[in-house]
Chains A and B, each alone.
Chain A
Amino acid sequence: MAETFVPDPSERINKRIPMPYAAQLPDIIKRNYGKWVDRKFHGNGIIEHISESGESIFTVKVGLPPNSRISVDTLKKIIDVADTYGLKVVRATRGMNVEFITDSLDKAKKIVDIMKGYGFPAGGWGNSLWHITSCTAYLTCSTFAVDAPSITKALYDYFMPYFTGEEKLPSKLDIFVSGCTNICAGTLAGDIVVVGHWGQAPTPDPEKIKFCLPTSAEALKKVTPDVAAVCPVNAIKLYAKEDGSVGIEVDDKRCIACGRCKNVCDYFDWDPDKVGVAVFVGGKTSNTGSGPRLAYRIVPWVPVNPPEYREIVAVVRKIVDVWKKNAESGERIGDTIDRIGLEEFMRQVGVPKSRHNACIEVSWNFGVRQFIKYV
């Protein structure tokens, strides 16, 4: 594969249309495309899909390290297993795990065993923990509050039996961990969503903030620089200093620690001991039960103590325990909360109430429900 290209650099302006999906589908899927009529679960990590043609395929879900960070070494193992026991194709899942695809139950079980031998568990379907999705945070990100991959590792280490199916849950459970309020783990509409935040207003770095400001205060008359314009509550004030340069002030009474200013400027600081995570509970995108909704901020702040993050793991455990105790079978956390009431759920979790978690229960009608009465 050692090809060398010496194109004229300006050729690089010619972008490529991403490849069509059909190019990588195995024949058996092409033959049965759109013809699947039934499914069977074989344990927690294997699903059989049955086509009207009578053919079956088996998908095996295998857990990957937090943030699906893998070395080429591990990638090659995955390729090997897929070549030997699978249909030479895998799927990257929405929840940052990998799905192998094969054509017999024996091969599927073989895949489970081999991957287990490499230290990668199979599971994550049915009434279980489907995934803990993590953003990249400190691995490659410069906008951040806490490190999501290591928090995810701590959570997965405890919750792994819920993934493999050794421990049962009332229903499906999706967990998301984001290093900051940008929520790059994807969504606030998850069953449990852990979001890092500063817990305080940002402090401009006295030396370096100037890189995010116009050099002369004259410029302020024309346009508000990004660093102040992005603040949704106008907490950032820019002013002309006596020497004609630009001064900056953050009003910590107004600031909601949303992190938008940090998105456009690296040079804000904070006290790491005031940084924490908020835990949102009861969201989902599926239309089952009471439909899609964002999660409630039940816990506004939990301290962050690496590398074990015991406080965070304990809080998430508590939430899952309260759900397990109250749920009727098949109920996602949000549906359990709806039935027993948010107040009662929070009472059982035992979290102190403050102005930050005075959750208001409201009715909503999201997703495809917005179309119902017009049809």
Chain B
Amino acid sequence: MTISDIKEQKLSEDDMKALEKLEKGPWPSHVTELKKTKYPIEYYAWGVMHKYSPWYSGSFRVRYVFSGILARRSRDGKVSEVHFRTYSPAGRFLSTAYLKKIAYVAEQYGIGLLEFAGNTGSIVINIQPDKADQAIDIIRNVMGSDVGGSGDTFREFYACPGPALCEFALYDTLAAMDFYRSHPEIYKFFNTQLFPYKIKVKFSGCPFDCAGANARSDFTFIGTWVGAPEVDQEKLREMIKSGKVDPKELVKRCPSGAISWDDDRQQLKIDGDKCLKAMNCIKMAFPAIKPGKNRKIALLVGSHAQAHYGPRLSWGVALLDDYKEALPFILKVIDIYSNNAPRRHRLADLILRRGFRLISEAAKETLPDKPKATPSSHLRFTTGAVLSDDERVAYTEWAKSLVKEYYGGEQ
């Protein structure tokens, strides 16, 4: 196969046949789903078998709508594909009444296909290009949502289910997401293309960080506490007696070395100064051990998976008592970011170029009385790699040997 074969994009029955393999196997198949829709599956089949995406980016627009619409055209120019990102409610609790409206939009204005739990947080609906204008009106007036969250603007915010469904939540993640998303000073940036690159905001209710906020948000909110976890000694003794909890395990598995067990008095002690809020003990002995009562919200900045200088985790900024307190800081940092970052640089890229002082000064000014963090140092990561022929051969041979080990001799 050569690159010129690829450019021709010759669709073939063979590719469709090969794709059938992806309908076998026990896990539900996306190919089976695609076949129930008007999605141009032959193009996908061609792509999979040629190891080449069938799509170029397209230039489809709906006038006056500046975000959330993505368009592709096939390499042969014959087919176009348009999809919308639509905002979901915080926590992504979706009533069936709402889902029925989504089904209606996807059927009447789309091709009967959606990405149910999109990674930005949105529900993605594939749309017929010639009905895109009306689809926007229906999404707004019937679904009660909006399109948006693509390009150099705020991406869909994301919150863990928090107090709605989770006993560990240390603050109201859903209310926090709603507060920021609908605040006029934040909301004004939605669906514009005014930032150097995207900005993401995520909310996790506790240090388990189910929202992945530590690794994928320019502004990160994580519930935490000060001091030691709360221990109900009575309840803990019960759990130990019934065999549910082993106190020695609690001691051993605490990464902070903060726990000791007094066997004579049958009492657990946790040193609040040492505790790293790792949650290991809480996970093992909940509800006898719970997060401490002095609750805080950790505010961090700058994590992402993709940017100029590679992936990063968040830098710690300050400990808040209320999620609302971060607003002036966020506005200030957006201002600094917008005025100083080159195009396609994330907030972290700016921090790496200009130093964390940019952030700590903004925090000093906008969060004067809040305890500050000591940010960790970061390693430089690269995700891709240019391999020499020898290296490629070495890794191929190794992978083939594993295939032999797991699938047997025949290949």
Contact = CB atoms under 8 A, between A and B. Distances in A.
B383 interface: yes
A259 B53 CA distance: 15
Contacts of B137: 5, 7, 12
A75 B117 contact: no
Given A64-B117, A362-B379, A371-B319, A18 B89 contact: yes
Contacts of A18: 87-89, 145-146, 181-182
A153 B64 contact: no
A301 B277 contact: no
Interface stretch (B97-105, B333-341, B357-365): B97-105
A104 interface: no
A149 B279 CA distance: 33
A371 B26 CA distance: 45
A373 interface: yes
B311 A38 contact: no
A75 B96 contact: no
B136 A260 contact: no
A150 B22 contact: yes
Contacts of A140: 55, 70, 72, 81, 83, 126
A301 B26 contact: no
25 contacts: A9-B133, A10-B63, A18-B181, A22-B174, A64-B28, A65-B32, A75-B102, A89-B94, A91-B92, A184-B305, A188-B305, A229-B343, A232-B309, A252-B386, A269-B3, A273-B1, A289-B278, A294-B312, A330-B283, A362-B379, A367-B209, A370-B376, A371-B316, A372-B275, A375-B227
A263 B70 CA distance: 14
Chain B interface size, as a band, is 35 or more
Contact of B27 (A156, A198, A317): A156
Interface string A341-370: 000000000111010100010101111111
Nearest to B58: A142
Given A18-B146, A150-B30, A294-B379, 7 more contacts: A38-B286, A140-B126, A189-B216, A301-B391, A350-B402, A367-B298, A368-B222
B384 A181 contact: yes
Contact of B210 (A94, A255, A258, A373): A94
Contacts of A314: 399, 402-403, 405-407
B226 A375 contact: yes
Contacts of B242: none
Contacts of A313: 406
A256 B344 contact: no
Contact of A79 (B83, B99, B374, B395): B99
B57 A266 contact: yes
Given A229-B342, A356-B385, A368 B98 contact: no
Interface in A248-301: 252, 255-260, 263-264, 266, 269, 271-276, 278, 283, 285-294, 297, 299-301
Contacts of B165: 29, 36, 49, 57, 59, 91, 101
Contacts of B88: 18, 92
Interface string B192-228: 0000000000000001111111111000001010110
Contact of A15 (B31, B191, B275, B398): B191
- The residue among A4, A146, A149, A187 with the most chain B CB atoms within 10 A of its own CB is A187
A260 B313 CA distance: 19
